[in-house]
Amino acid sequence: MNLKNSLFASLAMLALAVPVTGGAFVFVSASPALAKSDKDKGGSGRGSDRGSRSDRGKSDRGRGSSSQGRSGTGGGNGNGNAYGAGNGNSGGSSGSVKPAKATTTATVEPESLDGEVALRPNQLGSMNGAMNANINAVLAHIRNGNTNGPVGALAGLAVAEHNAAEAETLLETAGDFAALDEALEAAGYEDLQTYLDSGETDGNVDAAIAALGDAAGTEPPTEEEIAEAEAALAALPEAEAAIFDAWNKSGSATEEEKQALLDALRDRLDGEDEAIAAAIEAAVDRASETDGDTEAEADGESDDGASDAEEEGGDEGAEETAALDPEAQAMIDGLKY
């Protein structure tokens, strides 16, 4: 028996002399070149960790190869010796099952920007034309009194917004004059001029005068002007309803989406107040000219009851009058502000 065999024999006897604890053999190695080797046979009492920890062997002469594999709950063995010849294999089937990926259903919602709903092009539908229309096309619809289609509906909204803004200013002024009258009456003055001539001061009257600003030296709005302003405010919801009538997606749109559309259209008109006012003025002038031509034609009727326009097949003024539908004419008639 050579030295190396004696060493192995001594180690074997030492292992037998060590008490068995926990159902496993404990091997003590006197040389770092020796690798640990366990046997794991799926729950037997001979070691629970051999398949993974004994696959590497190191020696003074070389490196042992280690097995590659994954071991779950099955048996595995591996051997490594001091000569550097190491081998190990493991085999087993894993009891774990790869979990299936959860399936999520995406809900299509309008895009949002800074907490506000923003409609995508496919949600705008027919209103893409209004959103992308050149402002000159919108102004032309205003001048011609054309409220047909998406662009015409946008033109009607532009007119209604303009009229409503001026109507609100007039109604606020009327309210300030009413507040001044109440303050003068409470202070015992017949009118503003009487108060100014008195040379006295009253805090409530002075506050009411300050609220009027530049309008303090003017006449208060008449009852007719107030009625027209109220009618202009009432026309705004009608113009908004016309937008939805021209929108082919309004039937399935939510209230938030409808409001988002109105906001987007108003943003589209932002900064065009002067151009819109000029187009409205041109529409009013055109309507006045048309009315004048109609009156002239009525005065120029021939003895047989036929007008000059009828004899000639209709002049340009008559054609323009015929081109305006009742809804467009009503819009032009309302262009007061």
Q: In order along the chain (337 residues), what is the average pLDDT of each group of 10 residues?
A: 47 46 42 41 42 42 42 44 45 48 41 60 92 95 95 97 96 97 95 93 95 92 97 96 95 94 95 95 89 63 50 45 56 57
How long is the chain? 337
71 and 131 share one domain: no
The H or E element containing residue 104 is none
Identify which of 47, 87, 52 has the alpha carbon closest to the alpha carbon of residue 69: 52
Residue 82: what pLDDT?
40
Could you tell me if residue 97 is inside a domain?
A: no
Total number of domains constituting the chain:
2
- Do 46 and 133 reside in the same domain of the chain? no
Buried b (16+ CB within 10 A) or exposed e, 63-93: ebebbeeebeebbbbbbbebebebebebebe
Residue 21: DSSP 8-state: B
DSSP letter string over 58-93?
Answer: B-SS-B--------SSSEEEEEE-TTS-EEEEE---
Give the pair of three-digit tokens for residue 65: 């190869």
Confidence at residue 275, expressed as pLDDT on a 0 to 100 scale: 96
Q: Are residues 136 and 252 both part of a single domain?
A: yes
Q: Is 98 within a domain?
A: no
**Which of 31, 55, 90 marks a domain boundary?**
90
Distant-in-sequence, close-in-space partners of 153: CB < 8 Å, separation ≥ 6: 130, 147, 239, 242, 243, 245, 246
Q: How many CB atoms lie within 10 A of CB 12?
A: 11
pLDDT tens profile 244-285? 999 999 999 999 999 999 999 999 999 999 999 999 999 999
Same domain, 294 and 214: yes
CA distance 260 to 91: 64
Rounded Cα distance, 128 and 149, in Å: 12
Query: Do 72 and 121 belong to one domain?
Result: no
Comparing C-alpha atoms, which of 67, 62, 114 is closest to residue 91? 67
Reference 232, options 177, 164, 185, 329; nearest CA is 164
**Domain for residue 180, yes or no?**
yes
37 domain-assigned:
yes
In a domain, 83, yes or no: yes
Shared domain check, 37 and 128: no
Give me the domain span that covers residue 232. Answer: 111-333
- For residue 69, the model assigns a pLDDT of 40
- The answer to whether residue 280 is domain-embedded is yes
Cβ contact 29:8 at 8 Å: no
Same domain, 162 and 58: no
Residue 121 pairs in a beta bridge with none
Same domain, 213 and 182: yes
Shared domain for 203 and 315, answered yes or no, is yes
For 4, the 3-state DSSP assignment is helix
Mark whether 293 and 216 lie in a shared domain: yes
Asked whether residue 103 is domain-assigned, the answer is no
Q: What are phi and psi of 153, to 5 degrees?
A: -65, -40
| Dihedral class, residue 56 (left if φ above 0, else alpha if ψ from -120 to 50, else beta) | beta
Single residue among 56, 90, 124 that ends a domain in this structure: 90
In a domain, 223, yes or no: yes
* Claim to verify: residue 41 and residue 185 sit in the same structural domain: no
Whether the CB-CB separation of 69 and 50 falls below 8 Å is answered with no
Q: Taking the mean position of all CA atoms in its chain, how far away is CA 131?
A: 16
| Maximum CA extent, the chain | 152
Query: Given 39, 59, 90, which residue is the final one in a domain?
Result: 90
> How big is the chain by its Cα radius of gyration, in Å?
48
The three-point CA angle 222-225-230 to 5° equals 125
Closest CA to 65 of 49, 88, 48, 40: 88
Question: Do 41 and 149 belong together in one domain?
Answer: no
